[in-house]
């Protein structure tokens, strides 16, 4: 093994937490490492909506370049930020055990009026058909979250919200919004999840949401072997299926595609969907497979979704 492995990370609190987790787990295996802090383009531009930036891997490409230039040996990413096709010369070395995959609403205002407007009644979500029309303003920079929100609440206004989780929480507290949507894992990992939250059980997550990926150079077996000691096979399997689904649909941060694979009694249960940008059109799929027969599951589910109307939605997004 190398004397000290260089771990590259963005310098946000969440990114540093994730990299420090990797560093701690490597140390438990007798492997020493040091953190190298690198600012990504996605951290610099906190105004432009992600869908307008139009760049695959906006939060990962700077670390990718540092890996390829041998400035670092490992890069730690929130896996949902990683493009379906990694940069040439790089490979996935490990995926850590998944945290919560759920999205949550951090809300503001009077619960007595807000909860009925959202359809949160008796600690459960009402089906769309039973919702009373309401006019709220919710913040998110994610086209996936926006599309799913508008599908359920077509009269709501969605405002853009960019920045790391700390910045977004601050912007929310200073705003007129009734709430903002976050990944549960991001807030929970750094102890920022407040009491005023609701888990959006009806919202399907981004592919590989809640998972942490470690990347390395293809020609660096020492770093690969070190990172592989931390790999969680079940998380790696489920996130691979979700990424395969995304890859076939040719989706990225500008496409409202969601996917979730979970393991239950040696079977994999998969759910996926795609929506139009305005949330009015939706195609969804549910699949099931024994755990030892999942090599093509993501691809097969994506092809079935295309046949169920997903192809028309993708065409409309491209035209837009």
Distance CA 138, CA 73 (A): 40
C-alpha to C-alpha distance for 242 and 297, rounded to whole angstroms: 9
Q: Which of 43, 81, 103, 220 is catalytic?
A: 81
133 Ramachandran zone, left/alpha/beta (phi>0; psi -120 to 50):
beta
Report the length, in residues, of the chain: 320
What tens-digit pLDDT sequence spans the chain (320 residues)?
568 999 999 988 999 999 999 999 999 999 999 999 997 654 433 443 334 333 345 668 899 999 999 999 999 999 998 999 889 999 999 999 999 999 999 999 999 999 999 999 999 999 999 999 999 999 999 999 999 999 999 999 999 998 889 999 999 999 999 999 999 999 999 999 999 999 999 999 999 999 999 999 999 999 999 999 999 999 999 999 999 999 999 865 578 999 999 999 999 999 999 999 999 999 999 999 999 999 999 999 999 999 999 999 999 998 87
Q: Looking at domain 5-98+210-231, which CATH architecture does it have? A: 3-Layer(aba) Sandwich (3.40)
Domain ranges (residues) in the chain: 5-98+210-231, 103-199, 247-319
Identify whether the C-beta of residue 85 lies closer than 8 Å to the C-beta of residue 247. Answer: yes
Which CATH fold topology does 103-199 show? D-Maltodextrin-Binding Protein; domain 2 (3.40.190)
Residue 220 annotated to the active site: no
- State residue 251's pLDDT score: 64
Strands (E), the chain: 5-9, 33-37, 74-78, 90-95, 103-107, 120-121, 124-125, 137-139, 157-159, 179-183, 197-199, 212-217, 257-264, 267-275, 282-290
Q: How far apart, in whole angstroms, are the C-alpha atoms of residue 59 and residue 50?
A: 10
| Among 207, 230, 240, 216, residue whose Cα is nearest residue 87 | 216
CB contact at 8 A, 274 and 313: yes
Identical fold for domains 103-199 and 247-319, yes or no, is: no
pLDDT at 41: 54
Q: Which fold has domain 247-319?
A: Double Stranded RNA Binding Domain (3.30.160)
**147 DSSP assignment:** H
């Amino acid at each position: 093994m190398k004397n000290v492995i260089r771990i590259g990370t963005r310098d946000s609190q969440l990114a540093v937490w994730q990299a420090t987790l990797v560093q701690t787990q490597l140390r438990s295996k007798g492997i020493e490492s040091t953190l190298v802090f690198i600012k990504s383009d996605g951290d610099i531009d906190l105004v432009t909506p992600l869908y307008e930036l139009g760049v695959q891997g906006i939060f990962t490409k700077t670390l990718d370049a540092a890996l390829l230039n041998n400035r670092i040996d490992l890069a730690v990413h929130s896996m949902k930020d990683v493009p379906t096709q990694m940069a040439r010369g790089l490979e996935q070395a490990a995926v850590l055990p998944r945290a919560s995959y759920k999205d949550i609403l951090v809300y503001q205002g009077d619960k007595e009026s807000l909860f009925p407007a959202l359809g949160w009644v008796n600690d459960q979500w009402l089906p769309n058909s039973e919702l009373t029309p309401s006019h709220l303003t919710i913040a998110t920079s994610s086209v996936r979250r926006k599309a799913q929100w508008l599908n359920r609440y077509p009269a709501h206004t969605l405002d853009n919200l960019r920045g790391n989780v700390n910045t977004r929480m601050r912007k929310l507290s200073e705003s007129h919004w009734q709430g903002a949507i976050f990944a549960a894992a991001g807030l929970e990992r750094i102890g920022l999840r407040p009491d005023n939250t609701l888990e959006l059980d009806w919202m399907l997550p981004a592919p590989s949401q809640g998972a942490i990926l470690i990347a390395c150079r293809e020609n660096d077996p020492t770093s690969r072997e070190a990172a592989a000691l931390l790999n969680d096979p079940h998380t790696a399997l489920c996130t691979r299926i979700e990424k395969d689904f995304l890859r076939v649909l040719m989706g990225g941060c500008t496409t409202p595609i969601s996917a979730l694979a979970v393991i239950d009694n040696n079977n994999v249960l998969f759910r996926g969907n795609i929506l139009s940008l305005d949330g009015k059109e939706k195609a969804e799929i549910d699949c099931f497979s024994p755990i030892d027969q999942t090599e093509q599951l993501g691809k097969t589910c994506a092809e079935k979704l295309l046949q169920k109307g997903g192809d028309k939605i993708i065409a409309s997004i491209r035209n837009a």
